A = this chain, B = another copy of it.
Amino acid sequence: MGQKINVAVLGATGSVGQRFVQLLEGHPWFKVNELVASDRSSGQCYGEVCDWRVSDAMPSSTRETRVKALGDRLESQIVFSSLPGGLASTVEAELAAQGKQVFTNASDNRMVPDVPLVIPEVNPDHLGLIESQRRNRGWSDGLIVANPNCSTIHLVLALKPIWEEFGIEQAMVTTLQAASGAGYPGVPSLDLIDNVVPYIGGEEEKIEHETLKLLGTVAGEHIASAAITLSAQCTRVPVRDGHLESVSLRLRKKAAIPQVVEALESFTGRPQALGLPFAPERPIIVRPELDRPQPSLDRNAANGMASVVGRVRECSIFDVKFMVLGHNTIRGAAGASILNAELLHQEGYLTAS
Residue from B55, B174, B238, B297 in contact with A246 in the complex, judged by beta carbons closer than 8 Å:
B174
1/0 per residue, CB under 8 A from B, across A290-317: the answer is: 1111111101110000000011000111
A55 touching B300 by the CB < 8 A rule?
yes
A321 contacts across to B, CB distance below 8 A: 231, 233
B240 touching A296 by the CB < 8 A rule?
yes
A193 touching B196 by the CB < 8 A rule?
no
Are A188 and B190 CB-contacts (below 8 A) given A197-B294, A246-B174, A296-B240?
Answer: no
Residue from B186, B296, B323 in contact with A198 in the complex, judged by beta carbons closer than 8 Å:
B323
Q: In the complex, A171 Cα to B184 Cα: how many Å?
A: 36
B56 touching A300 by the CB < 8 A rule?
yes
Are A53 and B189 CB-contacts (below 8 A) given A176-B176, A196-B237, A233-B311?
Answer: no
A231 touching B315 by the CB < 8 A rule?
yes
B189 touching A192 by the CB < 8 A rule?
yes
Are A317 and B194 CB-contacts (below 8 A) given A187-B189, A188-B187, A199-B311?
Answer: no
At the interface, yes or no: A5 with Cβ under 8 Å from chain B? no
A residues 249-304 in Cβ contact with B at 8 Å:
290-297, 299-301
At the interface, yes or no: A44 with Cβ under 8 Å from chain B? no
A56 contacts across to B, CB distance below 8 A: 300
B240 touching A190 by the CB < 8 A rule?
yes
B246 touching A316 by the CB < 8 A rule?
no
At the interface, yes or no: A155 with Cβ under 8 Å from chain B? no
A residues 43-98 in Cβ contact with B at 8 Å:
53, 55-57
At the interface, yes or no: A108 with Cβ under 8 Å from chain B? no
A190 contacts across to B, CB distance below 8 A: 53, 179-180, 184-187, 240
Tell which of A170, A179, A246 has the most Cβ of chain B within 10 Å: A246
Q: In the complex, A295 Cα to B196 Cα: how many Å?
A: 6
At the interface, yes or no: A235 with Cβ under 8 Å from chain B? yes
B194 touching A239 by the CB < 8 A rule?
yes
Q: In the complex, A245 Cα to B193 Cα: how many Å?
A: 18
Residue from B171, B248, B294 in contact with A195 in the complex, judged by beta carbons closer than 8 Å:
B294
Q: In the complex, A180 Cα to B310 Cα: how many Å?
A: 25
Tell which of A57, A188, A193, A321 has the most Cβ of chain B within 10 Å: A193
Which positions in A face B, CB cutoff 8 Å? Answer: 53, 55-57, 170-172, 174, 176, 179-180, 184-199, 201, 208, 229-231, 233, 235, 237-240, 244, 246, 248, 290-297, 299-301, 310-311, 315-318, 321, 323, 325
Q: List 27 A-B contacts (CB under 8 A).
A: A53-B190, A53-B297, A56-B300, A176-B176, A176-B196, A176-B235, A180-B190, A184-B190, A185-B188, A185-B190, A187-B188, A187-B189, A188-B188, A193-B296, A194-B194, A194-B239, A195-B239, A196-B244, A197-B291, A201-B290, A208-B316, A229-B316, A230-B317, A231-B316, A235-B244, A235-B246, A238-B238
